[in-house]
Amino acid sequence: MIPLNINGADHQIDADPDMPLLWVLRDLVGLTGTKYGCGIAQCGACTVHLDGEPTRACQTPVGDVGTARITTIEGLTGAAAEAVRAAWIEVDVPQCGYCQSGQIMAAAALLAENRAPTDADIDAALAGNLCRCATYFRIRKAVHLAARTLEG
């Protein structure tokens, strides 16, 4: 049994320690908001936070998580997260929406560190998050809007 703290709740997971956190979350815990896109840290669809750090769950063996607090899209809260979600809704970012859990996890982590990101900061922070619908133009707009909201 592997103990995990997911979105503030303690879980005991019966899994091979090699099993990627992505599949533990999706198939064993039933938190399907975290998406599978590539399995090799190329698309960012599986982005979760480990102690607040954006992390690719597909490349994180569950045995390596240890005591880190895992936050998924379902448990993402706080000022930055709320500002990001509101901005995403206001700018109407999502098309299919499949990549957006990962985009929002990455954007919230960026804003938690950098309250006034430039376009270049946004591009650098989100370059690992593919959106095949190419909602990038609106993602940039929405991150700026969220930053302005956070400034108050």
Partner 1 sequence: MDTAFLAGPRPAAGLDVSRRGFLLGAAAAAGGGLLVGFRRAEAAESGATDAAPVNPLEAYVHVRPDGGVTVLSAHFDMGQGSYHGLATLVVEELGADWTKVDVVGATGNTRAYGNLAWGGTAQGTGGSSTMVSSWRRYRTAGAAARMMLVAAAARAWNVPAAEITVDRGVLRHGADRRAGFGDMAAAAAALPVPAEVPLKAPGDWTQIGNGDLKRFDRAGKTTGRQDFTIDVRLPGMLTAVPVHPPRFGAKVKSFDAAPAKAVKGVVDVVETPRGLAVVADHTWAAMRGREALFVQWDETGAETRGSDEILADYTRRAAGAPDAWARQDGDLDGALAGAAKVVEATYTFPYLAHAAMEPLNAVARRAEDGVIEVWGGLQNTDTYHQAAARTAGVDPSRVRMHMMKSGGGFGRRGSPDSDVIIEAVAAAKALAWRAPVKMQWTREDDMAGGRYRPAYVHHMKAGLDADGNLVAWYDHIVGQSILRDVGFPLPDGAIDQISVEGSSTLPYAVPNLSVGLTTTQVGVPVLWWRSVGSTHTGYATEAFFDEVAEAAGRDPVAFRLSLLAEHPRHAAVLRAVAEMADWGGPVPAGRHRGVALHESFRSVVAQVAEVSVEGGTVRVHRVWCAVDCGVAVNPDVVKAQMEGAIGFGLGAVMGEELTLTGGVVDQTNYDGYTPLRIDAMPQVEVRILPSANAPTGVGEPGVPPLGPAVANAVHRATGKRLRRLPFARELG
Per partner kind, with CB cut-offs from 5 to 8 A, the member of ligand FES, partner 1, none near residue 85 is: partner 1
Calpha distance 126→120 (Å, rounded)? 10
Task: Find the binder of partner 1 among 29, 110, 122, 146 (CB under 8 A).
Answer: 122
Rank residues 79 and 86 by Cβ distance to ligand FES and give the closer one. 86
Does residue 114 interact with partner 1 by CB under 8 A? Answer: no
Does residue 33 interact with partner 1 by CB under 8 A? Answer: yes
Please return the burial class of 134, using the count of CB atoms within 10 Å of its CB with bins 0-12, 13-18 and 19+.
Answer: exposed
25-33, 43-51, 80-88, 115-123 -> range binding ligand FES (CB under 6 A): 43-51
Does residue 73 interact with partner 1 by CB under 8 A? Answer: yes
User: Footprint of ligand FES on residues 51-80 (CB under 6 A)?
Assistant: 56, 58
Does residue 96 interact with ligand FES by CB under 6 A? Answer: yes
* Total of chain residues touching partner 1, rule CB under 8 A: 57
Calpha distance 76→74 (Å, rounded)? 6
Q: Which residues bind ligand FES (CB under 6 A)?
A: 36-39, 41-46, 56, 58, 94-100, 131-133, 135
